[in-house]
Structure 1
Amino acid sequence: MQRQLEIDASPVVLVNVFTLDAADEAVFLQVWKDDAAFMKRQPGFISTQLHRAIGESPTYLNYAVWESTEAFRAAFTHPEFISKLSAYPSSAAASPHLFQKVGIAGICTP
């Protein structure tokens, strides 16, 4: 992720997969909600959506759209956001990556 933050691109999509213990789901959801509210107030934020794996797997996927890597980088490295990371349950493991849309003729738009 650190190397991706150095690349100027726009727009970008953050995809972050979280795995955690089932006992930590309520805490995770509250902390994620607080983080999302912070991100929503940041310049360049467009939208976000949280998904939960079906069944008993306590795995979540966050999908967030940003105007640019620059805007996401400013929010992601903001001291207020960094200070919130310790509130996540210790069982929560995150795997964030930044993406851009890929156009495939006749299938999906660029």
Structure 2
Amino acid sequence: MSLIQPLDPDFPIERQIGLEVSPVVLINIFKLDKADEESFVKAWQDDADFMKRQPGFISTQLHRAIGDSPTYLNYAVWESVTDFRAAFTHPDFLAKHSAYPSSAVCTPHLFQKVGVPGICVA
């Protein structure tokens, strides 16, 4: 992968994975050249296959922007930051980054559910 950009430069993924929070949702936005979509999806599929075999993984879903925008969003649920960190920093996962097209820029960020009375639960 050519570049990882933080969603929040003051609190990038490298700082987030140092916290102890459970459960968490990874939101990762990918921007790439339209010509690289097929190779991107193959690389993401390989990553997702690795991740789903890791302890604490719950689920993932890839979304594509509508229309002509070659922008993708990955939504992945993990039991804890501890589990995500172990998978995200695993040497086998890190080695997979080179399979992504050079045009791919990703923006990973971890989130926690928020409870809003009468609307949603945490």
TM-score when normalising by structure 2: 0.89
Deviation by residue 1:1-24 (Cα, 9 ceiling, x = unmatched): 000000100000000000000000
The corresponding residue for 1:51 is 63
- Tell me the C-alpha RMSD between the 2 structures: 0.4
The counterpart of 2:30, out of the listed 14, 18, 29, is 18
Q: CA deviation at 1:106?
A: 1.1
Q: Which runs of 4+ in 1 moved over 4 A?
A: none
The counterpart of 2:112, out of the listed 87, 100, 109, is 100
Higher helix share: 1
Q: CA deviation at 1:47?
A: 0.2
Letter in 2 for 1:58: P
SS of equivalent to 2:119: coil
Q: What is the number of equivalent residue pairs in this alignment?
A: 110
Point out where structure 2 has 5 or more consecutive residues left out of the alignment: 1-12
Deviation by residue 1:27-46 (Cα, 9 ceiling, x = unmatched): 00000000000000000000
What is the identity percentage for the equivalent residue pairs of Structure 1 and Structure 2?
A: 70
The corresponding residue for 1:31 is 43
The corresponding residue for 2:94 is 82
Residue 62 of structure 1 pairs with residue 59 of structure 2: no
Point out where structure 1 has 5 or more consecutive residues left out of the alignment: none
